[in-house]
Every structure is written in C-alpha cells, then in structure tokens.
Amino acid sequence: MTTHLVWFRADLRVHDNLALAAACRRTNADVKALFIATPQQWQQHEMAPRQAALINVHLNALQQALAEKGIPLIYREADDFAASVQEVVAVCDSENVSHLFYNYQYEFNERQRDAAVEKALPDVACQGFDDSVMLAPGSVMTGNHEMYKVFTPFKNAFLRRLKEDLPECVAAPRARESGAINAKPITLNYPQQDFDDTLFAADETRAIAQLRHFCQHLAAQYEQQRDFPAIEGTSRLSACLAIGALSPRQCLHRLLAECPQALDGGPGAVWLNELIWREFYRHLMTYNPSLCKHRPFIRWTENVQWQDNPSQLDAWQNGNTGYPIVDAAMRQMNATGWMHNRLRMITASFLVKDLLIDWRRGERYFISQLIDGDLAANNGGWQWAASTGTDAAPYFRIFNPTTQGERFDADGEFIRHWLPELKDVPQKAIHQPWVWADKQGVKLNYPRPIVDHKQARTATLAAYEAARKG
C-alpha cells in the first residue's frame, strides 16, 4: 500500500483543502497528516500570542476532524524552518511515504523551506497546490506577461478571469476504510493569549457558519457599513483566512450564492474587492520577494529620513497620542488582537505621516499583536499607508486623524468604548477633548496631542520630497 502524507501549515481545515483532497483521491492509499510547530521561527517573525492560541485550537479541531475520517495527525516540533526540513524527511522515512502533498506558502522563507524539502526527498513524489488564493500567482498578468504594479488594473483583470471560469471548491474527503482513530490534545510550545471566541471562530464548523451569516445578512450592506468601527459591519473572517480555517474560494462561492451580482458590481462587490486586495498582495509578494525582506516597493522611499523617537512610538503603541480615534483603535488591537480596517489605515498614517516613524516599526508591532496577522496583507497595508508601495496615490495623501474621527465615529461611540476617561466629554467635543477641557477649565485624565497635525504634515511632505529628489 502506498502512503500519502499531507503536510499542513496555514491551511487548518478539511473542506476545500486542495492538498488533502488530492492525497485522499486514491481510496487504496494510506493517508496520514503532519503538522510541524516551529516556535523559534514564529518568534523571529513575531507571531502574536493570540494568533498562536487560535492556531492551537484549530489544530486540535483539525486533528479531531481528521481522526473521524481515519487520518492520523502526526505532530512534531522543530526550532525553525531549516530544522523542519529534517523533520519532514524523518517522518517520510519512518512512515514509508511515497507521496507528499502540501499547499504553497508564498513568503520567501517558506518557499526556500519547501524547495529544500523537495531536494531532500528525491524518492518521494512531492506535489504543491495554490490553495490560499482564488487564482494562482502568475495567472493574472499584464499584456507583457508582467505582474501588475497597481491594484485597479489587477482587479479588473482578476474579475475577467473569474467571469471566464470560477475556481471550484473541493469537498472534504470521505472517511477512510480504517475508521475513526483516537486523537491526543496538542499544545503548542509558544506563548499564547486568550481570544474572544464569540468574535473569532474557534473551529472550522463555526468559521463556515460565520461566513454564511455574514454573506446572508451583512455582505450586501458592507459598502455602507464597513468604515464605521462602532458598527459590526465587517466579516471578522480575516483571522480564519490567515490560518487557513477558511479558503478564499469558499468565501467567493458563498458570497455569490447570496449576492449573485457581486462580480458585476452589484451588492457584495465591495467585500469581493477586499478579497481581491488579499490576492493582489499575495501575487505581488511572489514576484517581489524583497517585500518579505523589509524593503519598500518604491525604492526612492528608502531615502526618507525617519525619526527615531521611542517615547512617541510608545505613545502610539499604547494608545496615548492625544488623538482619540488613533488611541481607541490601538487600545482595541491591544485588548482583542484585532483592529477595524478603516482604523488600520488611520493609525498607520498617523505613525508614518504624523510622527514620521519608519513604517516597518508599525508593521512589526501590528504583526506582534494581530490575531489575523498575515505577512502579505500586513506589509501591503503598511506600504499603502506609507506611500512606499504599489498604490497609485502620491505620497502627499495624509489622513487628518481628527477629521477621520469626525467622519467615521461622529458621535464618539467607538471612542468612548475604548477611552473611558473621555466618557464625560460632550459629543461635539469628543474628537478634540482638550479644546473643550481648556475652555471649561476641566482636567482630563487623557494626554494632550503629542504632535500638531498641521506642522507634522508640512515636515513629512518635506521629508518625502527630499527623499524623492535625493
């Protein structure tokens, strides 16, 4: 009997898992699964403790789901990716593996690891799959067969491809003839922090239910509600997508089942647009591996003279900048491991364009806190905010944190939730509480703004202009 080994990584599900489905296609094959924890590598990549906790619960749920299908999950631990190569080889040797199946990861280190595994297993048939995307990198290119450098033309080409041929979802495999097996609990050797499982699904079944609920009840109104953090108008599915508890193909098909006009700009199109942004950053990273190495996409921005100001960085990280919408957003992330997307843009713009602190400091801090941490999306978002990436807008797009708060949290509901020290400030004054406090002679237990936005904007424009000319 041949032995098929499925190497799980960021794809912790049994439904629509291309590698798992391929491994189980031959009914007479003995199928086993493998997961290798790499705590030192995770530490180097600054994976958030809440994401580790999410991975841990989903890994145990996956183990149970596989066990019910007669597929044992082998758990191993290695310090880093280099050591994980030897673990894969050892498992293949001990289990007499003939075929190794895995889903591609597009980050630079992960691609090097996979190449090393294939080289170390000349007698094992290795097969990888483009599972974490709707369309494989390289399938959406310009007329000159180059990767798009701007999102909108990429999106238009992407939509054309989807209309020509939707990617299919594959079913979960049937139970093997060997029958169900026992599964022992797994505990990752990595710092973990509790997360709210009412906000973030703790197993695949609940993730699918959360996707269905969003598409049925919220996707059509997503465009109108997505920018207001006090409203539950987003899907909160990014964490499940990041660890692979859901696939983007599942999201696409469920969306189209509830919003059939989404491909043509109808209801649901704006959420589909967000899924395509995710694809864009993954495709981009594949063709520009320097993005995984802390390099900006626009090279002249390497010349920007960033400010080294530890006290201001600390104020930003802990939500003590004196700008209520920024501070409420940072405290939300620190407390929950998640931040509303509009607020990610506001807080990133503030760090880079108001404080003139290197965007990579923010990128690293976000990944250390986010339960939905994803290198491609996080890097893409930060480079968008810093005007160092692929966005077509020029570097002089700078968000005003006060007017952003007034526009997207007009009555201060979100701000008051996360900044209880401002609970007595009148609604009309909530976005500039010190202006009101000074007029009323009131003492606030809240910091004054650490920077003047107008002055900071002028200094940032000068710094970028000098970098561009230099």
What is the phi/psi pair of residue 97, to 5°?
-75, 135
- Cβ-defined contacts of 213-217 (< 8 Å, 24+): 215/254, 215/255, 215/257, 215/258, 215/259, 215/268, 216/258
Give one DSSP letter per residue of 426-454, joined into a string: -GGGTTSHHHHHHHHT---SSPPPSS-HH
**Sign of the CA dihedral with 18 first, then 133, 51, and 340 last:** negative
Considering the candidates 382, 384, 400, 418, report the single residue annotated as catalytic.
382
Residue 277 annotated to the active site? yes
Alpha-carbon torsion angle 194, 196, 201, 202, nearest 10? 30
Matching residue, tokens 């003139």: 356
Residue type, position 286, single letter: T
Give one DSSP letter per residue of 3-35, joined into a string: EEEEEESS---STT-HHHHHHTSSTTSEEEEEE
Measuring CA to CA, which residue among 77, 134, 131, 75 is closest to residue 103? Answer: 131
Cα–Cα distance for residue pair 253/458, rounded to 1 Å: 47
Cα–Cα distance for residue pair 67/108, rounded to 1 Å: 32
Cα–Cα distance for residue pair 310/355, rounded to 1 Å: 11
Residue 306 annotated to the active site? yes
Cα–Cα distance for residue pair 70/175, rounded to 1 Å: 6
Residue 359 annotated to the active site? yes
Render the burial of 328-349: b for 16+ CB within 10 Å, e for the rest.
bbbbbbeebbbbbebbbbbbbb
Residue 274 annotated to the active site? yes
**Sign of the CA dihedral with 343 first, then 13, 72, and 180 last:** positive
Residue 86: both structure tokens together: 């030897």
Query: Helix crossing, 269-287 with 151-164: angle to 10°?
Result: 110
DSSP 8-state assignment for residue 351: I
Considering the candidates 306, 309, 406, 436, report the single residue annotated as catalytic.
306
Considering the candidates 7, 42, 271, 277, report the single residue annotated as catalytic.
277
Cα–Cα distance for residue pair 240/461, rounded to 1 Å: 38
Considering the candidates 42, 271, 359, 418, report the single residue annotated as catalytic.
359
| Tally of CB atoms within 10 A around 59 | 21
Considering the candidates 68, 223, 274, 406, report the single residue annotated as catalytic.
274
Do 335 and 13 meet the contact criterion of CB atoms below 8 Å apart?
no
Considering the candidates 258, 288, 341, 436, report the single residue annotated as catalytic.
341
Do 376 and 281 meet the contact criterion of CB atoms below 8 Å apart?
yes
Instruction: List the catalytic residues.
Output: 274, 277, 306, 341, 359, 382
